[in-house]
């Protein structure tokens, strides 16, 4: 995987991230979702590296990156803390401005990075996500049935016990669908108690401090000011839950485009060629 990329641990002020980077061109940061690690991008990153300098970290709390200290408000697992990591990581690699792509839980960190650092993020891609505040305020019976795990993960201790009893049965996944190297990295993550706790803490932060940050932004009238692309899986839940996904994002953005893609949730693994074309075309236009 990731031929021509460097793999290293990069120490930041508040976290140490496992990072792969490679390619030449404008900097592009790719953020994975739950329960994946950065290796979910193994088919996309090398293709993008033909036109971009691509950076793929394990988010703090995930994979082999460091795990934040637990606090009552879950601030160490907040998307604001992870956005700060992203900016510091890219500065460490020599880039004061960059573009960013986030999938699933990574989309929330990408969103927060664009909100908190508007002069730093040049363009933003959101994959299979809507703002946390919208997800919670629009919560209904359909959401509760489809995304019940949001509320289960908010409970103390029980989610970790349930997952770690049989991680692969809980999450699913196979080498034939994911690629052997990606699958092995994923398996190492979901069998590690500290990583499982870090991933669940990301959800606990979502229901508390992340929601509060979104609400502060909305009340203050703040919006994402960079060009924003939203892509979603037509065979997953977003259209079922929200209808026109772009309608959810319009109040948060000033320059929005996007559409559904013919795939399931893990689009980087299922349709890497199409996803690469979509991302490359969008971010090349906004350099």
CA distance 159 to 202: 12
β-pair type (6-11, 16-23): antiparallel
Angle at 95 between CA 37 and CA 107, to 5 degrees: 35
Distances (CA, A) of 180 to 38, 183, 239, 270, 284: 14, 5, 31, 14, 31
Strands (E), the chain: 6-11, 16-23, 27-31, 53-57, 98-103, 121-127, 228-233, 256-261
List, by residue number, the catalytic residues: 104, 265
């Amino acid at each position: 995987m990731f031929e021509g990329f460097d793999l290293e641990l990069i120490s930041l002020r508040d976290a140490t991230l496992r990072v792969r980077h490679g390619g030449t061109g404008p900097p592009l940061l790719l953020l994975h979702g739950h329960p994946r690690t950065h290796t979910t991008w193994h088919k996309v990153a090398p293709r993008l590296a033909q036109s971009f300098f691509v950076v793929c970290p394990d988010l703090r709390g995930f994979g082999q990156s460091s795990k934040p200290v637990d606090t009552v408000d879950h601030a160490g697992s907040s998307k604001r803390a992870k956005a700060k990591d992203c900016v510091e990581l890219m500065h460490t690699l020599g880039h004061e401005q960059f573009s960013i792509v986030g999938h699933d839980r990574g989309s929330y960190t990408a969103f927060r990075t664009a909100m908190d650092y508007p002069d730093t993020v040049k363009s933003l891609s959101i994959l299979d996500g809507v703002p946390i505040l919208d997800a919670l305020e629009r919560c209904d019976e359909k959401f509760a049935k489809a995304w019940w795990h949001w509320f289960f993960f908010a409970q103390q201790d029980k989610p970790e016990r349930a997952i770690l009893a049989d991680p692969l049965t809980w999450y699913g996944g196979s080498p034939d669908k994911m690629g052997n190297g990606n699958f092995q990295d994923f398996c190492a993550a979901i069998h590690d108690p500290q990583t499982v706790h870090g991933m669940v803490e990301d959800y606990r932060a979502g229901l508390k401090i992340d929601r509060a940050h979104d609400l502060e932004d909305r009340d203050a009238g703040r919006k994402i000011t960079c060009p924003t692309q939203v892509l979603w899986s037509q065979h997953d839940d977003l259209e079922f839950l929200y209808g026109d996904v772009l309608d959810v994002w319009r109040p948060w953005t000033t320059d929005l485009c996007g559409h559904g893609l013919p795939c399931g949730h893990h689009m980087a693994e299922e349709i890497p060629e199409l996803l690469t074309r979509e991302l490359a075309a969008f971010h090349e236009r906004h350099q």
